Amino acid sequence: MRSTAKAVGTAPGKVILFGEHAVVYGRPAIAVPVFEVQARAEVSLGEPGQGVILEARDLDLRYPLSSASADDALATIVWKTLARLEIPPQPDILISVQSTIPIARGLGSGAAVSTAIVRALARYFGKHLTSRAISDLVYEAEKLYHGTPSGVDNTVIAFGKPVYFVRGRTLEIFWVKTPFLLAIADTGIVSETKDVVADVRRRYEENLGRYEFLFDEIAEIAYQGRGAIEMGDLPRLGELMNRNHAVLQAIGVSCPELDRLAQAALEGGALGAKLSGAGRGGNLIALVTPETRGRVDLFLRLAGAKRIIITEVS
């Protein structure tokens, strides 16, 4: 079992550009990485006989892997990764995790932390895992975070590229003709994806016809959105973002704070704006240009945004 003295793995955050919620029901989604926020995992040699020690500095946690419960997502990704790498289950190592990705804001914090851990463990033990293999491992931990995850988060974060995704069928990294800027505005409201997804499932089962229609509408928007990105048609991309937000409102996953930020972004000159992720809090994304980014930033802050990240999608 070859290992290095220390190894580091990192992973970006992500935002869903189109297709949230509908992707759970077999429709396409587009997601893009956000490198301005990162998760970082470091694996180093631990004390002899202590086995695996997990340390989450941001949460002030430190505990042995052997004491973790079956629903511990950090422990799950470590167990599964060690098995995948064919490493004995209790090597004497310290796994330390830090992240600048806000939790429960639709930025993929859980998937990013898991991805960083997988990469750090593989490097520590001198093994190579493909992006596909990393994504598959992280998906297993995502089940604990989200219940019935779509697979979008682990895919876009593991590959670190814009992806067009249909659950269980299609995974395509696609061409961005003209790089574009997104302003990501945080409402400051914690939104648990698992809870929102479960509520949408309940509503879907109560009114299949209505929700199938809404999910089909989102699917068409995602399809056209990919075309707009590949053609470099940013005004069209903005229009589709506005349309997608309206459908998400109809599904029942927006909230007054998100709607207020969307309106502020458009008043500030954004080409389009929509919630991103589960909704009912979390983040709004707005399509801005180099000329409008400052004004949109100001309008979003005045409307109550707690934090704003500008990222380039390329």
Say which DSSP state 24 is in: G
Residue 181 backbone class (left: φ over 0; alpha: ψ -120 to 50; beta: rest): beta
What CA–CA distance (Å, rounded) separates 246 from 243? Answer: 5
Does residue 191 contact residue 278 with C-beta atoms inside 8 Å? yes
Say which DSSP state 169 is in: T
Comparing CA positions, the residue from 96, 54, 86 lying closest to residue 72 is 54
Comparing CA positions, the residue from 160, 150, 226, 148 lying closest to residue 12 is 160
Say which DSSP state 102 is in: P
| Catalytic member of 136, 153, 186, 297 | 153
153 assigned to active site: yes
Q: 4 φ, ψ to 5°?
A: -100, 170
Does residue 262 contact residue 284 with C-beta atoms inside 8 Å? yes
What CA–CA distance (Å, rounded) separates 107 from 207? Answer: 29
Say which DSSP state 241 is in: H
What CA–CA distance (Å, rounded) separates 6 from 267? Answer: 49
Comparing CA positions, the residue from 145, 256, 279 lying closest to residue 200 is 279
What CA–CA distance (Å, rounded) separates 200 from 214? Answer: 12
What CA–CA distance (Å, rounded) separates 267 from 255? Answer: 19
What CA–CA distance (Å, rounded) separates 212 from 184? Answer: 29
Active site residues: 153
